[in-house]
């Protein structure tokens, strides 16, 4: 593995992506030279460059085509400039370009299928676009040397759907660490000392259960929702909070780099992952936020989706709610607020679970399967 040159391409900000940060650092520690090409449309700066990570500023206007043309132009240029034995396409959007250029250079190409891209929630009412994605993915996925997924269900789906047999599960799991300090949200946002803090962290998209949480705040006294993340639905959630009169209880706390995130995560009382069953991809959900909550010692409340449910019940780190049947998170939160010993027990279970559910253990399991 030593002395391998590896290039990772990603339509997102690498600094804010734990999967890329952890993979890059582990490969570097194993003697590889890793470079990352990534993109962001929220950053204020034009570009952010370090010795081995590039984040290019993109502009999202009204015409989506221009956005992707700009992205493709930069990506092609940067891929042509790189010299690597292995190229990672970290999402569907980079896949065609990485395959074409990587194979032209006679390098190995790995595809990180973070989602079932043709079946993400935002496309469920767009059958033509879904078909286009399936056609493109079907062609290029057969050209790659290895397909990485985030869970067993995704691997099985892709192998059956595309008739492939080269998948490898790498779950979105954070580094094993304990927060060196805990961020004080109550002090920062002038909240009552005895307030109860719910946390959602991640991209603000449809189908992530955020409206369910905001509506629940109407029935929860002295309870606040901390949101760590940005996304296209942010203004919609702000409007909802205003309309139902809980805007002062919903706090948009911004985005933080991955190496600092745990101290903010640990500053809440409960972590929420109420992903809605609006697509196949969401039904298979096993998001990094779930493992990040556990690593930070937060009891969790998750929706009744199979892979999340298994983690929560196997390690006894929280509760599962069937939001599809209208089950509310309110009774759980009220019960925990009135029984702090339950919170403490779940926190201790998180500490135990984190010793297994961490990147170091996950990488140890898969490192020899990279075929390098």
Handedness of CA 303, 307, 310, 315 (dihedral sign): negative
Judgement on whether residues 90 and 124 belong to the same structural domain of the protein: yes
Judgement on whether residues 161 and 244 belong to the same structural domain of the protein: no
What is the mean pLDDT of the segment spanning 31-47? 91
Calculate the CA 12 to chain-centre distance: 11
Judgement on whether residues 273 and 236 belong to the same structural domain of the protein: yes
pLDDT digits (tens, 9 = 90+) for 44-56: 778 999 999 999 9
Q: Is 84 helix (H, G, I), strand (E, B) or coil?
A: coil
The two three-digit tokens of residue 91, written as one number: 């999402």
Poorest-pLDDT segment among 15-19, 148-152, 348-352: 15-19
Q: What is the pLDDT of residue 122?
A: 82
**Could you report how far apart the first and last alpha carbons of the chain are, in Å?**
6
Residue 180, in any domain of the structure: no
Judgement on whether residues 318 and 203 belong to the same structural domain of the protein: yes
Residue 349, in any domain of the structure: yes
Judgement on whether residues 297 and 189 belong to the same structural domain of the protein: yes
Residue 26, in any domain of the structure: yes
Residue 71, in any domain of the structure: yes
What is the mean pLDDT of the segment spanning 237-245? 96
Residue 60 CB partners (closer than 8 Å, separation 6+) = 41, 67
The two three-digit tokens of residue 235, written as one number: 């203004």
100-103, Cβ contacts within 8 angstroms, sequence gap of 24 or more: 101/76, 103/143
Judgement on whether residues 363 and 339 belong to the same structural domain of the protein: no
Instruction: Tell me the CA distances in angstroms from 340 to 192, 346, 351, one per residue in order.
Output: 17, 10, 17
Burial 177-207 (b: 16+ CB within 10 A, else e): eebeeebebeeeeebeeeebbbbbbbbbbbb
Judgement on whether residues 164 and 308 belong to the same structural domain of the protein: no
Judgement on whether residues 139 and 247 belong to the same structural domain of the protein: no
What's the CA gap between 35 and 84, in Å, rounded? 9
Residue 109, in any domain of the structure: yes
The two three-digit tokens of residue 367, written as one number: 């490192």
pLDDT digits (tens, 9 = 90+) for 262-295: 999 999 999 999 999 999 999 999 999 999 999 9
Q: What is the pLDDT of residue 60?
A: 82
Confidence of residue 187 (pLDDT cuts 50, 70, 90): very high
Confidence of residue 16 (pLDDT cuts 50, 70, 90): confident
Q: What domain count does the chain have?
A: 2
Q: Is 134 helix (H, G, I), strand (E, B) or coil?
A: helix
pTM of this structure:
0.87
**Any idea how long the chain is?**
372
In the DSSP assignment, the letter for residue 174 is P
Q: What is the pLDDT of residue 369?
A: 79
Confidence of residue 64 (pLDDT cuts 50, 70, 90): confident
Residue 106, in any domain of the structure: yes
Q: What CATH number does residue 51 fall under? A: 3.40.50.2000
Residue 97 CB partners (closer than 8 Å, separation 6+) = 9, 72, 75, 76, 79, 89
The two three-digit tokens of residue 258, written as one number: 């991955």
Range of the domain at 194: 185-354
Judgement on whether residues 148 and 193 belong to the same structural domain of the protein: no
Residue 55, in any domain of the structure: yes
pLDDT digits (tens, 9 = 90+) for 159-174: 999 999 999 999 999 9
Residue 178, in any domain of the structure: no
Query: Which of 149, 191, 186 is closest to 166 using CA atoms?
Result: 149
Judgement on whether residues 153 and 194 belong to the same structural domain of the protein: no
Judgement on whether residues 219 and 148 belong to the same structural domain of the protein: no
Average pLDDT, the chain: 94
Judgement on whether residues 205 and 119 belong to the same structural domain of the protein: no
Order of strands, sheet of 5-10, starting from the edge strand that comes earlier in the sequence: 47-49, 53-57, 33-40, 5-10, 86-89, 108-113, 146-149, 167-169
What's the CA gap between 218 and 246, in Å, rounded? 7
Query: Which of 143, 249, 273 is closest to 200 using CA atoms?
Result: 273
């Amino acid at each position: 593995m030593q002395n391998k040159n590896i290039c990772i391409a990603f339509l997102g900000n690498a600094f804010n992506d734990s999967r890329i940060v952890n993979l890059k650092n582990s490969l570097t520690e194993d003697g590889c030279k890793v470079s990352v090409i990534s993109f962001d449309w929220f950053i204020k700066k034009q570009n952010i460059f370090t010795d081995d990570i590039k984040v290019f500023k993109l502009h999202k206007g009204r015409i989506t085509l221009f956005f992707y043309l700009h992205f493709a132009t930069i990506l092609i240029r940067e891929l042509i400039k790189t010299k690597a034995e292995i190229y990672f396409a970290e999402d569907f959007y980079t896949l065609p370009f990485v395959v074409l250029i990587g194979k032209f250079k006679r390098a190995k190409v790995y595809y990180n299928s973070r989602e079932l891209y043709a079946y993400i929630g935002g496309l469920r009412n767009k059958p033509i676009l879904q078909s286009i994605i399936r056609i493109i993915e079907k062609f290029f996925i057969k050209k790659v040397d290895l397909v990485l997924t985030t869970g067993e269900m995704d691997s099985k789906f892709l192998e059956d759907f595309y008739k492939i047999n080269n998948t490898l599960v790498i779950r979105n799991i954070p580094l094993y660490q304990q927060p060196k300090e805990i961020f004080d949200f109550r002090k920062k946002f002038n909240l009552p000392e005895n307030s109860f803090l719910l946390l959602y962290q991640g991209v603000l998209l449809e189908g992530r259960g955020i409206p369910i949480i905001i509506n629940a705040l109407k029935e929860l006294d002295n309870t606040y929702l901390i949101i760590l993340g940005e996304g296209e639905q942010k203004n919609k959630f702000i409007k909802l909070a205003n309309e139902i009169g809980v805007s002062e209880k919903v706090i948009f706390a911004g985005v933080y780099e991955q190496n600092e995130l745990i101290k903010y995560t640990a500053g809440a009382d409960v972590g929420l992952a109420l992903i809605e069953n609006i697509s196949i991809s969401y039904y298979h959900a096993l998001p990094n936020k779930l493992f990040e909550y556990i690593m930070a010692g937060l009891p969790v409340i998750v929706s009744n989706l199979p892979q999340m449910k298994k983690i929560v019940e196997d390690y006894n780190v929280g509760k599962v709610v069937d939001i599809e049947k209208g089950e509310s998170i309110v009774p759980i939160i009220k019960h925990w607020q009135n029984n702090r010993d339950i919170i403490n027990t779940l926190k201790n279970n998180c500490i135990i679970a984190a010793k297994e559910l961490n990147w170091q253990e996950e990488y140890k399991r898969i490192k020899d399967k990279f075929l390098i």
